[in-house]
């Protein structure tokens, strides 16, 4: 691996160690974000999660109609058993 020359600028009153730490933190975050941007492994998981949410919303929306139909069926059964 090639050696890199570290050039940092100090703020007035700041130490060189602080400037180096800030530089290293920025490089680490930049490398992390670039790696996350390039990797596609998490996209499948996100797609499955979105599909699960969509199916859950559809199920919740249809429960109201299903509950009404079940209630009507049991009401009809009760009326038929009562007569």
- Local confidence pLDDT in tens for the 83 residues of the chain: 455 555 555 566 667 788 888 888 889 989 888 887 777 666 777 888 999 999 999 999 899 888 999 999 999 999 999 86
DSSP 7-71: ---PPTT--HHHHHHHHHHHHHHHHHHHHHHH--HHHHHHHHHHHHHHHHHHHHHHHHHHHHHHH
Going from N- to C-terminal start, the domains of the chain cover 16-82
pTM of this prediction?
0.38
């Amino acid at each position: 691996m090639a050696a890199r020359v570290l050039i940092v600028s100090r703020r007035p009153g700041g130490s060189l160690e602080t400037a180096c730490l800030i530089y290293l933190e920025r490089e680490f975050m930049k490398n992390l974000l670039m790696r996350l941007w390039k990797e596609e492994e998490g996209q499948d998981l996100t797609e499955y999660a979105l599909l699960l949410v969509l199916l859950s919303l559809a199920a919740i929306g249809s429960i109201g109609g299903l509950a009404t139909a079940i209630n009507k069926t049991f009401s009809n059964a009760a009326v038929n058993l009562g007569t």
